[in-house]
């Protein structure tokens, strides 16, 4: 009989019934063990690997459209610099918090010149098969891209605030490369 008094009542699942406080503590511990690591992993991914962003404006039409959703990957530029024709997301101090999306056309050390609506790199015309119209000249029609900078243009050249206005962009101002479009559904795919 003394043995029966020392046993705890069962909770119906074969184990002893826990007090409300112990159940709450166990639940909070399980939540912290599950949710906290998930939040930390999500933050690390967002800071170092990739993030979602939305296209605003018409500067990249017809290739990217207003309200199109993209994944921006941040990892590759830790191993190599931007490549010609990469579509990049950048943040410029003079633009405030607004992110810009542009295409890299000029690399460090290259001379970028726009003549008769055609971009020339080191004196040679640049083939740009993704364009629908020619490029209008900007403020600086002849620029040598400094080290650790790139020259960027929007695909919709008549409606783009780009390096023709604000000059070459420091590579450190590039958030990442536009990698994948996930919305709207008809635009799902890799960004060219």
- CA 51 to the chain's CA centroid: 5
Annotation says 102 is catalytic: yes
Annotation says 160 is catalytic: no
Say which of 74, 102, 160, 181 is annotated catalytic. 102
Say which of 59, 160, 163, 181 is annotated catalytic. 59
The answer to whether the Cα torsion of 172, 174, 176, 177 is positive or negative is negative
Active site residues: 59, 102
């Amino acid at each position: 009989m003394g043995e029966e008094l020392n046993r705890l009542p069962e909770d119906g699942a074969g184990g002893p019934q826990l007090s409300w406080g112990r159940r709450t503590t166990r639940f909070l511990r399980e939540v912290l063990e599950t949710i906290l690591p998930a939040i930390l992993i999500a933050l690390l991914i967002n800071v170092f690997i990739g993030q979602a962003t939305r296209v605003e404006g018409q500067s990249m039409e017809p290739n990217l459209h207003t309200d199109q959703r993209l994944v921006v990957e941040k990892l590759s530029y830790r191993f190599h610099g931007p490549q010609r024709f990469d579509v990049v997301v950048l943040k410029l101090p003079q633009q405030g918090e607004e992110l810009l999306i542009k295409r890299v056309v000029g690399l460090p050390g290259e001379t970028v010149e726009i003549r008769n609506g055609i971009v020339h790199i080191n004196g040679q015309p640049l083939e740009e098969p993704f364009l629908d119209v020619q490029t209008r000249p900007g403020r600086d029609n002849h620029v040598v891209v400094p080290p650790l900078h790139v020259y960027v243009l929007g695909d919709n050249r008549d409606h783009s605030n780009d390096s023709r206005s604000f000059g070459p962009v420091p590579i450190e101002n590039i958030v990442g490369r536009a990698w994948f479009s996930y919305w709207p559904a008809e635009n799902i795919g890799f960004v060219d």
